[in-house]
Amino acid sequence: MSGPLDTLGAAARARLVRQARPEWSAPMLATLTDTPFSDPDWIFERKLDGERALAVRDGDRLRLLTRNRKKIGATYPELVRALAAQPCGAFIADGEIVAFDGAVTSFARLQRRMQLTAPDEAERSEVAVYYYLFDLLHLDGYDLSALPLRRRKALLKAALDFADPLRFTPHRNAAGEALFERACASGWEGVIAKRAEGRYVHARSRDWLKFKCSHRQELVIGGFTAPHGERVGFGALLVGYYEGDRLRYAGKVGTGYDDDFLAAFRAELDAIAQPDSPFADKVDEREVTFVAPRHVGEVAFTEWTRHGRLRHPRFVGLRRDKPAREVVREEARG
């Protein structure tokens, strides 16, 4: 044991597990809630509007992986270089890749980078990206999952050198409601609350809670309507969520697209068109083309109607970091 791990006391060392660095480590996920709170036993972080990613390094081998294990290093070569230059040669770190529109992280702006898969193209992109790291799962041959969150964050800060494009995610102790008010006033997506003494659980947990300033969630794309007038590509996307094995219809999303996306995504949809509806519910729309439910989009909306439809939905962007079968209706829990 050496480096930052030397700073651990006997009690913390006893919670370490000697382990070869795994090929994959499932990320911890937060549970949606609608009740902001303050508590000295919790820390509170800004909820970033980007792409969740794990950084996995083993000597000269460095991988950036989405939460569904897709390799994305070619899209973010500057992040790969920064991580590969770290003095620490073996780690798994958790974080969020973001792009900014002014002072606010913008998933829509990040989409312009996410579409690039050639490193030279990505290098020329005008969209600057940053990797906000907020947790450390594995370090120098030890699994850190059983350590308290505050200790993991301290080890993260000590183990890596933080300079752009790598950034350490700051947090506020205790005062969650004040940070949530600031978040919503500043146009942020929301706040993540984390139990300060909690371990890293490789699943969804109520030890991490998310408070959103507006309604947004991921939805599965199961079809589209025909364009009319000067519209290109498609008119609206038909979206839904899984309830068990059934894909429930949540409505159509007709705004939030530019012409380039409309044309390019229509070509992708045509390649997976199918004659039958993937939805368990009746879709009462005209000129519909159904598609295999493979793509996931993020949608902003004002509320759910009593019939389970989205009210005033707006498309935010495609998500490649979540499998379609994992998309369920998110409902806040107190």
CA atoms of 192 and 232, how far apart (whole Å):
38
Structure token digits, residue 180: 């949530």
Distance of CA 143 to the CA centre of its chain: 23
Structure token digits, residue 120: 């030279």
Structure token digits, residue 83: 């991580």
Judge whether 191 and 36 are in contact, CB under 8 Å. Answer: yes
- β-strand 166-168 against 51-58: which pairing, if any? unpaired
Structure token digits, residue 190: 């929301």
Q: Has 47 been annotated as catalytic?
A: yes
Structure token digits, residue 152: 């993991």
Per annotation, catalytic residue among 47, 210, 212, 252? 47
CA atoms within 13 A on the CB side of 56: 21
Distance of CA 24 to the CA centre of its chain: 17
Under the phi-then-psi rule, with left for phi > 0, alpha for psi from -120 to 50, and beta for the rest, what region is 105? beta
Backbone angles phi, psi at 326, to 5 degrees: -95, 0
Does the N-terminal peptide bond of residue 165 adopt cis geometry, omega within 30 degrees of 0? yes
Q: What is the DSSP letter of 233?
A: S
Structure token digits, residue 207: 């030890």
Q: Which residues are catalytic?
A: 47
